[in-house]
Amino acid sequence: MLIVLCSGGHSPGVTTAGLALTLTWPREVLFAECDPAGGSVLSGYLVGHRQDRGLGEWAVQLRRGADVSATLAEQALQLNGLENRRILPGLASPSQVPSVQPLWPGIAETFATMAGDVIADIGRIGGTDTPNPLLAGADQILVIAQPTLRDLSALAPRLAEISHRATPQILLTGDGPYGRREVAKTLGVEVVGHLPRDPKAATILTHGAGSERHLSRSLLLRAARSLGIKLCERVRA
């Protein structure tokens, strides 16, 4: 199963949501940073890990004709103490995007057919560098937004663009004056869940600073765990 996470504008925490889902996912999962703007996990949650692995190096190997699955296994990082959870760090620089762009169709096919699930973070959508093959090949698309007028106004036109390719769902994060029902009714798109504002847990996921003990019992990860179970059950159904 391929789940694509994205945003319609601003910065509502797509990578944070993706990491929270990955850490609590009920099945084998790979979190892939596919944001054309560049990755952040190696300087954040995975600070201190090897810096020479990730999507950019995988793309180099693919252009040389290397085996897709074998090279992906080499470039993904296994999370310590968490079986069947891996992370493929993103691009080191937006300058690498042109070299990856022709490879998106093959990467999308690999993600959609590999053993285990893939959660792909593609960042903001709507630009010329958006990896559209990932959107087209996704089993589920979660568009992340805060329940504020600023975020939802930016999101509305993007939803129309995505709807031409697939059926998106909204994942709300943080605080705002609008509830799930109101957002769903106004935008005409299902709101699949809500991840609460949790500054301590978010700081660990974005900066790698703080106690992992707090993270495991945080409100954010508890909500992410429930959402992950829900998403997997939907695919089975």
Owning domain of residue 217: 2-236
Strands (E), the chain: 2-7, 29-33, 77-78, 85-88, 117-124, 140-145, 168-173, 191-195
CATH number, domain at 175? 3.40.50.300
Amino acid 192: pLDDT: 96
If one counts the domains in the chain, the total is: 1
Q: What are phi and psi of 92, to 5 degrees?
A: -75, -25
Ramachandran region, residue 29 (left: φ > 0; alpha: ψ -120 to 50; beta: rest): beta
In 3-state terms, what secondary structure has residue 163? helix
Per-residue model confidence (pLDDT) at position 237 = 58
What are the pLDDT tens digits along the chain (237 aa)? 999 999 987 667 999 999 999 999 999 999 999 999 999 999 999 988 778 889 999 999 999 999 998 999 999 999 877 779 999 999 988 888 998 999 999 999 999 999 899 999 999 998 889 999 999 999 999 999 999 999 999 898 888 878 777 789 999 999 999 999 999 999 999 999 999 999 999 999 999 887 777 888 899 999 999 999 999 988 765
Query: What pLDDT shows up at residue 183?
Result: 96
